[in-house]
Amino acid sequence: MSDVQPHDYRTSLPDFTRAERVYRWVEFLTLFGVLPALFCFRSFHIPLPVLLLSAGLTCWIMLRRDPTFDRTPLWNVPGFLRGLPGVIALWLAGAAVLAAGVLLVAPDKFLDFPRQRPGLWLAVMILYPLVSVYPQNIVYRVFVFHRYAPLFRTRAGIVWASALAFCFGHIIFLNPLALILTLVGGLIFAHTYERYRSGLLVSFQHALFGCLVFTVGMGKSLYLAAVSAGAR
């Protein structure tokens, strides 16, 4: 059961003029297409945590200054409580699939991060949700849904737009596994946010899956890529 009434994206969103729609399209493609691509081919020497926090803060400020924005989705504790059982059930299923996949394809990698570098693994488990997860959900879920839903008009459209933006944002890692994982994760997270409108819930879900990926042995490519991207 959803925590909010379903949106009819064809009737409940602002009716943009052609100029406004063109501006929003250019803005969306620039922020979520051009800029990530530039970070692949140019050296900006911006540490990745600084980049994520700056992006999250910028989008948060833009949302807070928008008089049409309802601040409830930034946290929405009732939505979190309603969606929590389903999020946990899906995570348990995902954990079984990911663990089985690692054991089948690369058993020597299973749990290698916590076994070989427990101190660093613990630091990632603590800092990753704070420094990475919540800023990303402000950007790719709360901001994208509020600002660009009028461009896509349907639930499926805005869910896919959010997921693809999230996936392409990870192109800076130059790693196919990162893109596959973030596309699947992006669809899951966008669907959760579309249904419950809770930044807290989708951040909790994102943190669960992200920490799982790091733990079971699939996160080395993401972690090493992140370190490399931040050091450029």
Digit-coded pLDDT (tens) for 149-178: 988 888 999 999 999 999 999 888 888 888
* Domain-embedded: residue 5: no
In this structure, the number of other CB atoms found within 10 A of the CB of residue 222 comes to: 19
* Domain-embedded: residue 1: no
| pTM, rounded to two decimals | 0.88
* Domain-embedded: residue 98: yes
In this structure, the number of other CB atoms found within 10 A of the CB of residue 198 comes to: 31
Which DSSP symbol is given to 71?
S
* Domain-embedded: residue 223: yes
pLDDT of residue 144: 97
* Domain-embedded: residue 148: yes
Burial 168-184, CB ≥16 within 10 A → b, else e: bbbbbbebeebbebbbe
* Domain-embedded: residue 56: yes
In angstroms, rounded to a whole number, what is the distance separating the alpha carbons of residues 14 and 75?
Answer: 24
* Domain-embedded: residue 11: no
In which domain, by residue range, is 160 found?
Answer: 18-231
Residues in contact with 220: Cβ distance below 8 Å, sequence separation at least 6, in sequence order: 109, 112, 113
> Domain total for the chain?
1
Q: What is the mean pLDDT of the chain?
A: 87
Of 166, 179, 190, 184, nearest to 222 by C-alpha is 179
Residue 8 has pLDDT above 90, yes or no: no
The pLDDT confidence band at residue 9, using thresholds 50, 70 and 90, is low
